Amino acid sequence: MANPGYAASLEVRKLYEYLQPLTNDPKSLIRIVDESGEDYLYPIEYFRPVVLPLPAKRALAHGGTAA
């Protein structure tokens, strides 16, 4: 998947935090915390959901590794 126009904000194949949409967010966009550390709206087709095993979720939540 490519990220045309967002090369500085998004890395291809990287996991990003998804935030719940705000009331006025268009359905075609998704709210993502990008490389700037801020949340912005991006085209939903740029992303795929990923289901992580519980140890990986815990490691990401605590900033550690899932070793």
Stronger pLDDT, 15 or 7, i.e. the higher one:
15
Q: Report how far residue 35's alpha carbon sits from residue 2's, in angstroms, rounded to the nearest whole number.
A: 16
Q: How confident is the model at residue 34, as a pLDDT?
A: 92
Q: Which domain holds residue 48?
A: 1-67
Q: How confident is the model at residue 24, as a pLDDT?
A: 96
Q: What are phi and psi of 5, to 5 degrees?
A: 85, -5
Q: What are phi and psi of 41, to 5 degrees?
A: -90, 135
Strands (E), the chain: 17-19, 29-33, 39-43
What is the number of structural domains in the chain?
1
Give pTM, 2 decimals.
Answer: 0.74
Indicate the helix (H) or strand (E) that contains 56: helix 54-61
Nearest to 22 by CA among 10, 30, 14: 30
Kindly report, residue by residue over 25-66, the tens digit of the pLDDT. Answer: 999 999 999 999 999 999 999 999 999 999 988 988 887 555
